[in-house]
C-alpha cells in the first residue's frame, strides 16, 4: 500500500538473505524477475494487487523455504509451473484474479503417486466454473475457488 511505481528491480534477486518481500497494492508493472528465484531464504512473498504481466517464473521452484506466496489480482498469464511442486514448505498460495489457464494439479495437488503434496492452509485460484461449466484453471485441491475475474470466491470443504 505504498504507491510504488515502475517494475520490480532485477537486483532484488541479489538480496539472497531476504526473508520477506511485500510489494502489495501498488502500481508495479512489467514481469516478475526470474532472479527472484535466487531468494532461497525468502519465506513470504506478496506482489498481489499490482499490474504485473507475463508468466510466473519457473525459478520460483528454487525458493525452498517459501511458505506464503501471493500473486493474486495482477494480469499474469500462462500456466502454473510444475516446479512449484518442489516447495514443500508452501502452505499459502493465492493466485486468483489473473489470466492463468490449464491445470495446477501437477504443481499443487498430487505427486507422481497421486498423493497430496501439501497440507494447504490457503490455496486460492480461479477454479469456479462459469455458466458453461468452464474453469480458468483446474485445481482439485484448492481450498478457495474464485470466478474468472477473482471477485466472488467460495471456500471449499475438501474434508468431506
Q: 10 Å Cβ neighbour count for 119?
A: 6
What is the full per-residue pLDDT of the chain (160 aa) written as tens digits? 777 889 999 999 999 999 999 999 999 999 999 999 999 999 999 999 999 999 999 999 999 999 999 999 999 999 999 999 999 999 999 999 999 999 999 889 875 554 455 679 999 999 988 778 888 899 989 999 998 765 688 887 654 4
Q: Which of 122, 123, 71, 142 is nearest to 100 (CA)?
A: 71
Q: How far is CA 127 from the centre of its chain?
A: 13
Tell me the whole-structure pTM to 2 decimals.
0.91
What sign for the dihedral angle of Cα 91, 31, 12, 61? Answer: positive
Antiparallel, parallel or unpaired: β 153-155 and 144-146: antiparallel
Amino acid at each position: 500500500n505504498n504507491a510504488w511505481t515502475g517494475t520490480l528491480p532485477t537486483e532484488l534477486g541479489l538480496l539472497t538473505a531476504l526473508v520477506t518481500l511485500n510489494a502489495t497494492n501498488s502500481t508495479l508493472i512489467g514481469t516478475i524477475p526470474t532472479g527472484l528465484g535466487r531468494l532461497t531464504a525468502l519465506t513470504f512473498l506478496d506482489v498481489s494487487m499490482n499490474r504485473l504481466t507475463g508468466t510466473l517464473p519457473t525459478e520460483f521452484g528454487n525458493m525452498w523455504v517459501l511458505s506464503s506466496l501471493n500473486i493474486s489480482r495482477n494480469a499474469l498469464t500462462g500456466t502454473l509451473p510444475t516446479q512449484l511442486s518442489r516447495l514443500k514448505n508452501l502452505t499459502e498460495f493465492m493466485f486468483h484474479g489473473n489470466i492463468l489457464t490449464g491445470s495446477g494439479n501437477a504443481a499443487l495437488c498430487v505427486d507422481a503417486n497421486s498423493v497430496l503434496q501439501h497440507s494447504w492452509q490457503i490455496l486460492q485460484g480461479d477454479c469456479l466454473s462459469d455458466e458453461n461449466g468452464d474453469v480458468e484453471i483446474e485445481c482439485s485441491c484448492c481450498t478457495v475457488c474464485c470466478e474468472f475475474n477473482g471477485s466472488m470466491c467460495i471456500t471449499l470443504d475438501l474434508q468431506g
